[in-house]
Structure formats: structure tokens, C-alpha cells
């Protein structure tokens, strides 16, 4: 599986990390909360290491976020990523991408 990310990363220059409440976790059964799957957190770390923080945008649908990771674009949404398309476009522009307007 990691080979897939290495291959795609070599063909890309920016990563969007989609954090959605697909899992639950906590210290004990009384502290369980929605969270992103742990493989997504690992993949986020991979892309931060590959591209650097200025070429990462985290799209978060209300899940717990690692407290010691900062310094990159962070966009929250409620139902659909479409809600934040203007913010996503702005982050890509900030990273130096030229976008076509429709």
C-alpha cells in the first residue's frame, strides 16, 4: 500500500488529506470519540514529509486532530467538501498553482 502513495506522490506536488469520522477511539470506553482512521493519519504524515507543510491541505469533518501537528492549511466542513471549494482554491493559489476559472 505504501508503494501506491510513493508512486502517486512522485507524480504530484500537493496533497489533500480528508479527515472524516470513519472510526472511533479513546483512552477507554468512556472517552470514545469519532476520529479519522489511523491509516489516514499515517498517510498525512507521509505527505507532510514528502511535500512539506506548505503543500498540504487538511479537510476536516469534525474529528479529533493531532495537537502537535501545525503549520499547514486546515479547512473544516460539515457535510460536503463542496462547502469549502473557495477556501481550497485559495490554498492552491497560495501554494503557487494557477487555477482556471469557469
Give me the torsion for CA of 61, 2, 32, 69, rounded to 10°: -60
In a domain, 22, yes or no: yes
Write down the pLDDT at residue 102: 62
Give the model confidence (pLDDT) of 16-31 as tens digits: 999 999 999 989 999 9
Domain count for the chain: 1
**What mean pLDDT is reported for the chain?**
89
**The three cell numbers locating residue 27:** 483512552
Phi and psi based region of residue 2 (left: phi greater than 0; alpha: psi -120 to 50; beta: remaining): alpha
In a domain, 102, yes or no: no
In a domain, 101, yes or no: no
Q: Give dist(CA 46, CA 82) in Å, integer.
A: 25
Give me the domain span that covers residue 38. 2-94
In a domain, 53, yes or no: yes
| Tens of each residue's pLDDT in the chain, 102 residues | 778 878 888 888 999 999 999 999 989 999 999 999 999 999 999 999 999 988 999 999 989 877 777 778 889 999 999 999 999 999 999 999 998 876
Amino acid at each position: 500500500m505504501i508503494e501506491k502513495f510513493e508512486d502517486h506522490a512522485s507524480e504530484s506536488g500537493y496533497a489533500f488529506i480528508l479527515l472524516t469520522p470513519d472510526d472511533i477511539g479513546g483512552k477507554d470506553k468512556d472517552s470514545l470519540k469519532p476520529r479519522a482512521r489511523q491509516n489516514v493519519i499515517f498517510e498525512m504524515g507521509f505527505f507532510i514529509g514528502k511535500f512539506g507543510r506548505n503543500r498540504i491541505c487538511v479537510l476536516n469533518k469534525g474529528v479529533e486532530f493531532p495537537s502537535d501537528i501545525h503549520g499547514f492549511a486546515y479547512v473544516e466542513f460539515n457535510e460536503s467538501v463542496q462547502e469549502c471549494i473557495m477556501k481550497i482554491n485559495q490554498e492552491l493559489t497560495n501554494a503557487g498553482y494557477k487555477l482556471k476559472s469557469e
